[in-house]
A and B are shown apart, each in its own frame.
Chain A
Amino acid sequence: MIDALTIVQVAVAIIAGLLCLVLGLAGRKPSDLTLGATALVEVLLIVQLVVSIVSPAVGNDPTGDALEFGLYLGSAILLPVGAGFWALIDRSKWATVILGVANLAIAVMVYRMHQIWFVQGG
């Protein structure tokens, strides 16, 4: 895991989450903007997956438990997919709100993954 990348990722997820939440509550249906923001969050999660697979090989081991880390990452990767499908099927403003909720949940999970990787152990 790379510290700076992860911080950017949390920030992006929070911004995307708030954006979707605000636009959704304002009555907007899922749009290229909100779905695109969610897709960006998903792409960053995939990047994170690759990084976390490669990291231990180059001597960057997690301080916490790799299994716990993997469970968080796996769950997080599923969220945009689920919320995205929901948005494609249910084209109402609530689908946009749901995109926001999923993105914010991911922000929390990535933050937690950061703790597991860097802060725990010993």
Chain B
Amino acid sequence: MTASTSPPEQSSSAGIGRVLVVVYAILALAATGRSFYQIVSEFDEAPVAYSLSALAAVVYILATIALVAPGETWRRVALATIGFELVGVLVVGTMSLVVPELFAHASVWSWFGAGYLFIPLVLPVLGLLYLRRRRPVVTAQRPSERVTGA
């Protein structure tokens, strides 16, 4: 935390970004593995929840790639996918409580990601905060607000 040992803000935020990427990669791996298993062996039990599981897995993979890849386009892809995750975990989390017969099957987003230590709920928020920081070159030229477009 102290300024003496660690280099300035920017590299520290880049470092946190690296950790974020790794956590995303692990979650993508977990979501892909689980949805693969669910679709192969018990798809009939809850087709809606398991299809969502697969969709979530794809989005996590895409978000991981978008966080790593440089450039404004990828940053937007990252914003879109991470925003989608946040909406997904909120909607599916709520639905799994309200309409349990449809959604109360283990998926990354059921019960707000409780089966994954709530990481799916916390991660998109951290991701969006990180992306706001990373907001690049464009801002250096024009300090006007570009934050709202999320």
Contact = CB atoms under 8 A, between A and B. Distances in A.
Q: A and B: partners?
A: yes
Interface of A: 27, 65, 67-68, 71-72, 74-75, 78-79, 82-83, 86, 90, 92-95, 97-98, 101-102, 105, 108-109
Nearest to B12: A94
A90 to B, nearest CB: 7
A72 B31 CA distance: 11
B35 to A, nearest CB: 10
Contacts of B33: 71-72, 74-75
Contacts of A86: 22
A68 B23 CA distance: 21
B8 to A, nearest CB: 14
A109 B26 CA distance: 11
Interface residues of B, number: 19
A83 B22 contact: yes
Contacts of B91: none
A27 B19 contact: no
Contacts of B25: 82
B15 A92 contact: yes
Main secondary structure of the interface of B (DSSP, over half): helix
A90 B5 CA distance: 18
B36 interface: yes
Nearest to A98: B22
Interface in B8-51: 15-16, 18-19, 22-23, 25-26, 29-30, 33-34, 36-37, 40-41
Interchain residue pairs A-B with the least CB separation, the first 10: A94-B15, A71-B33, A98-B22, A68-B37, A94-B18, A105-B26, A75-B33, A75-B29, A97-B19, A71-B37
Given A67-B37, A67-B41, A108-B117, A101 B26 contact: yes
A71 B36 contact: yes
A65 B29 CA distance: 19
